Amino acid sequence: MTSEYNLTNASDLGQVKSIDFANKLGNNINKLLEVLGVTNKIPMNVGTNIKMYKFNVQEASTSNVDEGDEIPLTKVTRELVNTIELTFSKYRKSTTAEAIQSHGFDIAVNKTDNELLRHVQKDIRNDFAQILGNAAGTDYDTRKKALNAKNLQGALAKGRAKLSTVLEEDFTPIAFVNPDDSAEHVANGLIVSNGSLFGMGLLTNYVGVKVIELSDVPKGEIWMTVSENLNVGYANPKGELSRAFNFAVDETGFVGVLHDIQSNRLTSETTLMSAVKLFPENIDAVVKVKIKAESQTPS
């Protein structure tokens, strides 16, 4: 007997679930980019090298030139300091029939899917934190020196001033701080919390700087950059891959998700693939400020 026309079957529900999962993670990534002010989304192929630079300026012998004399050259070079290969991160979760029967489909599959989503978001956040921390420190430029300030307010002000000397144009400064360093300001109402995203606390602007809590930042340090310096490179899991795998992909193309039933094992599987790199292009526009309270002298 032929099946009824327009019958909704298990594979249809699996595809709907995959689309929902992909859109949820894709929307969260886009919300993060919106918070950070990232507008430069660069579609790439897997294997592409993402490049990070610093600028070197070699001053001319003099800028005081007599009338009619030849003006000496000022040499500006862009130096490559780091390359990052864009690769797919792959995740797979398998739930047995026994787990579904014992705990119910919602806990065994849906809630564990949500945990997988949080795990992927954490990996993206940690990867960005490592890249940003290296750019703020001496990993990519051994001549870089951290600034010092006695409190959070002073650190934000000093970092903003440093960025203004590097960029000398309109910019949107962003500071990533350890939650322990911002807790007192939040408690005293100097900064207000606006919720969280990707495990990062979103705070109101303070001294003209967008403040974001990031636990990866060591206590007593602040990493600062500007929205205009942040970019995201990504590989769309659709394209040629769709000829081999029936991935559900979010609207932007950040993530591909596949839900499938393995009848020979009686398991429900969730497979996810994503290639997303958030990075600062110019490391000169990434600043580290250390908070060092003035020592109390005994009375």
d(CA 32, CA 171): 18
Handedness of CA 46, 48, 54, 55 (dihedral sign): negative
Which SS3 state, helix, strand or coil, does residue 221 take?
strand
Q: Could you tell me which residues come within 8 angstroms of residue 46 by beta carbon, excluding any fewer than 6 positions away?
A: 86, 87, 88, 235, 275
Q: Could you tell me which residues come within 8 angstroms of residue 207 by beta carbon, excluding any fewer than 6 positions away?
A: 153, 156, 157, 160
pLDDT at 63: 72
d(CA 61, CA 72): 7
**Domains recognised in the chain with CATH numbers:** 10-40+88-291 (3.90.1690)
Which one-letter DSSP state was computed for residue 206? B
Q: Which two tokens stand for residue 7?
A: 């019958």
Q: Cα 189 to chain center, whole Å?
A: 27
Residue given tokens 């026309």 in the structure block: 5
In the chain, which residues have pLDDT < 50?
A: 1, 6-10, 12-13, 296-299
pLDDT at 170: 87
Sheet strands (E) in the chain: 40-43, 49-58, 75-85, 89-96, 147-149, 173-177, 193-197, 200-203, 210-213, 221-226, 230-234, 248-249, 255-262, 267-274, 276-280, 287-291
d(CA 43, CA 30): 14
pTM: 0.86
pLDDT at 6: 46
Q: For the chain, how many residues are written?
A: 299
Residue type, 23: N
Q: Is-contact 163 285, C-beta < 8 A?
A: yes
Q: Which two tokens stand for residue 9?
A: 């079957």
Cα separation values, 56 from 162, 230, 284, Å: 17, 20, 10
Q: Is-contact 173 163, C-beta < 8 A?
A: yes
Comparing C-alpha atoms, which of 216, 235, 217, 262 is closest to residue 94?
262
pLDDT at 288: 97
pLDDT at 295: 58
Cross-strand bridge partners of residue 270: 93, 259
